[in-house]
Structure 1
Amino acid sequence: MAFQSGNTTTLISKESEIVGDVNFSGDLEIQGIIRGNIYAKADKSASVRIVEGGQVEGEIHSPRIIVNGEIRGDVHSSEHVELAAKANVEGNVHYNLIEMVKGAQLNGSLIYAGAAKKTVAIKPSQGAIELGQ
């Protein structure tokens, strides 16, 4: 998934570390580290992209989220979440539409944010998937 054209892009570069919450609009690309929560302002086209080597320790709230790095915290997406091959998420993923590529790792639950409200719990140590409402 590519960023939407016309949006401004905020870059957290490879050697950067931010401690504290981040509020943004447009696109946010994370190559470095953010230790805090990330909130998209009231912008339906906002997106967060965590590239390989990028890290977030905190929650993420954004319509679109692309992960190819590490997240330690819950992910909340009202539109689309993509977990790429190098994604490593330790937390719950709240999604409307999700895409997972072979190699992505999730240690938490997938929670559908649509009308049905179903939960998928993945237990890597047991190799089982549980579905529930």
Structure 2
Amino acid sequence: MFSKQKPPAIRSLIADGNHIEGHVHFRDGLRVDGTIVGNVRAREEDSSILVISETASILGEVHADHVIVNGTIKGPVYARQMLELQPKARIEGDVFYTALEMHQGAIIAGLLRPTPSMLEDKPALKLAATGN
């Protein structure tokens, strides 16, 4: 189900201190350190990665293959392949995922909803180890 292909390169950055109002569409990889008020969506045709750092906040929907969160999202999250929630992740909205890794300290105020492909293939839910 999950190939070990190399993840796409992060080619774009929304730096800390930047504030964008409007929808953001990207391909390959995007790192967000600033604020976005609008939906963030990766092209479905290409493999994608979205990194939301601890200084970042997004008010809107998030769509990408691989989503790594250590900041704040207020809106639904659609991770087509993998969702990684780091210790400072805060999500207010429903989460749709195929595979999920959640570290201690991460918070979701919404429903966890597996995608239909997850229900068919049944990948394991991975809980991140603490410490060390």
Partner Cα separation in structure 2 for residue 68 and residue 8 of structure 1? 16
Aligned residue type for 1:29: R
Structure 1 runs of 4+ aligned residues shifted over 4 Å read none
Contact map agreement 2:28 2:47 (CA 8 A) in 1: yes
Equivalent position to 1:14, from 13, 16, 26? 16
For residue 4 of structure 1, what is the aligned residue in structure 2?
Answer: 7
| Equivalent pair of 1:26/1:43 in contact (CA under 8 Å) | no
In structure 2, distance between residues paired with 1:62 and 1:52:
18
* 1:15-34 matched pairs, under 5 angstroms: 15-34=17-36
Q: State how far apart, in whole Å, the 2-side matches of 1:114 and 1:95 are.
A: 9
TM-score scaled by structure 1? 0.81
CA RMSD of aligned residues (A): 1.6
Q: Distance in 2 between matches of 1:35 and 1:55?
A: 8
Which of these residues, 77, 86, 91, is aligned with residue 88 of structure 2? 86
What amino acid maps onto 1:83 in structure 2?
A: L
How big is the shift at 1:21?
0.2
More helix by share: 2
Structure 1: state its 5+ residue gaps: 118-133
Structure 2 gaps of 5+ residues are: 1-5, 121-132
In the alignment, which residue of structure 2 is the partner of 1:68? 70
1:31 partner letter: D
SS in 2 for 1:9: strand
User: Aligned partners of 1:104 and 1:8: how far apart in 2?
Assistant: 23
User: What CA deviation, in whole Å up to 9, does each residue of 1:23-78 have, x standing for no partner?
Assistant: 00011100000000011013442111000110000000111100000000000011
* TM-score, normalisation: structure 2: 0.81
Instruction: Find the counterpart in structure 1 of residue 53 from structure 2.
Output: 51
Match of 2:36, SS state, is strand
How many residues end up aligned between the 2 structures? 114
